[in-house]
Amino acid sequence: MNQIIENILTRRSVRVFSEKDIAREDLEQILKAGLYAPSGMNRQTWQFTAIVNREKIQKLAKLIEVKLSRAGYNFYNPSVIVLVSNEKTSGWAKEDTACALENMFLAAHSLEIGSVWINQLKDICDEPEVRAYLNEVGVPEEHNVYGIAALGYAAKEPNQNVVKKGIVKIVE
């Protein structure tokens, strides 16, 4: 099996991160992988906002905890979160986000950095306290955050995925 396929097949969502931080050059490579993802009509209307300050990350987690009544919410204690935002009017925002996030997850995995998709922000971006935070970190007012990558070193082996059977059909 080639290394690319092996990297795809062995990536798993990590939900317990250690205190070890990600080196800036590794983060930059992960973000670059996101930039090279496909986007609808190649518009690239997205923005990747990487928050590398643990206090600022937990400030956002606290807002989610309160807004969604999720006691103890902490994004699994990552070293970095990457907010993937896009124009609210874009017809491809969700698809673009998924492509960019998966590229980032795979790049992270190839560097032995764990990752997981965080979905909690997408429906509450325009709550005043959340929007104030997004303004503070420079997410454009006309953007919604469609997904977040939480990144860090795994502190626990991730769960193995059981791939469902009967999903692939090859028609001759």
53 contacts ligand FMN (rule: CB under 6 A): no
* Residue placing its CB nearer to ligand FMN in the complex, 112 or 141: 112
13 SS3 class: strand
The residue range among 37-45, 81-89, 110-118, 132-140 that interacts with ligand FMN, by the rule CB under 6 A, is 110-118
Tell me the β-bridge partners of 27.
none
Find where tokens 């400030």 sit. Answer: 59
Residue 14, class by beta-carbon neighbours within 10 Å (0-12 exposed, 13-18 middle, 19+ buried)? buried
* Residue placing its CB nearer to ligand FMN in the complex, 13 or 77: 13
Q: How far is the CB of 24 from ligand FMN (least distance, A)?
A: 25
Phi, then psi, of 169 in degrees rounded to 5: -120, 130
C-alpha neighbours within 13 Å on the C-beta side of residue 70? 14
103 SS3 class: helix
117 contacts ligand FMN (rule: CB under 6 A): yes
The gap from C-alpha 110 to its chain's centroid, in whole angstroms, comes to 16
118 contacts ligand FMN (rule: CB under 6 A): yes
Asked if 14 and 154 count as a contact pair (C-beta separation under 8 A), the reply is: yes
* Residue placing its CB nearer to ligand FMN in the complex, 69 or 172: 69
Binding to ligand FMN, residues 138-167 (CB under 6 A): 158, 161
Q: How far is the CB of 30 from ligand FMN (least distance, A)?
A: 16
Residues that bind ligand FMN (CB under 6 A): 12-13, 15, 116-120, 158, 161
